[in-house]
Amino acid sequence: MALKVQGLCPLIQVFDMPTSVRFYRDLLGFEIFNSSPSRSADDFDWCRLHHGDAALMLNTAYEFDSRPPMPDSTRATAHEDTCFYIGCPDVDEAYKYFRAKGLNLDEPKVAPYGMKQLYLKDPDGFEICFQWPA
């Protein structure tokens, strides 16, 4: 019998939970599905976010009382090899939406393999690509 799986929910480590929550929830439209106990608004150690069939978990990279004042640049550099590809039927509208929100992005392009793609980065340097067949 073949192994059956449904869905995928990556877990990423973030430097500042409230900043990351606002990015994924307020900008990208994810909803908080569950979280660890809250210290204050959007400030917890872990959460699970959903947007349609997409799911993502955020976890603080540091314990609350031991977080350094600034992100470690080597951690962010390591994030450059991670990209979340998100299906988006109207990539051009997504581009207009993000531009209206103040993001400075390159226009969508069609990749050699036929996907129209729009790239941006989250506050921790993880790349996100909204894409759809051209």
Stretch 99-128: mean pLDDT: 96
105 is written with which tokens? 């992005």
What is the per-residue pLDDT across 67-88, written as a single tens digit (0 to 9) for each? 888 888 888 788 888 999 999 9
As a whole number, the mean pLDDT across the chain is 93
Q: What is the pTM of this model?
A: 0.91
Q: For residue 14, is it within any domain?
A: yes
* Number of structural domains found in the chain: 2
CATH at 101: 3.30.720.110
In three-state form (DSSP H/G/I as H, E/B as E, the rest C), the secondary structure along 59-128 is EECCCHHHCCCCCCHHHHHHHHHCEEEEECCCHHHHHHHHHHCCCCCCCCEECCCCEEEEEEECCCCCEE
- Rounded CA gap, 12 and 89, in Å? 25
Q: For residue 1, is it within any domain?
A: no
CATH at 33: 3.10.180.10
Q: What's the pLDDT at 35?
A: 97
Domain coverage including residue 15: 8-63
Residues 90 and 116 in one domain: yes
Stretch 24-43: mean pLDDT: 95
Q: b/e map of 47-60 (b: 16 or more CB within 10 Å)?
A: bbbeeeebebebeb
- Rounded CA gap, 89 and 93, in Å? 9
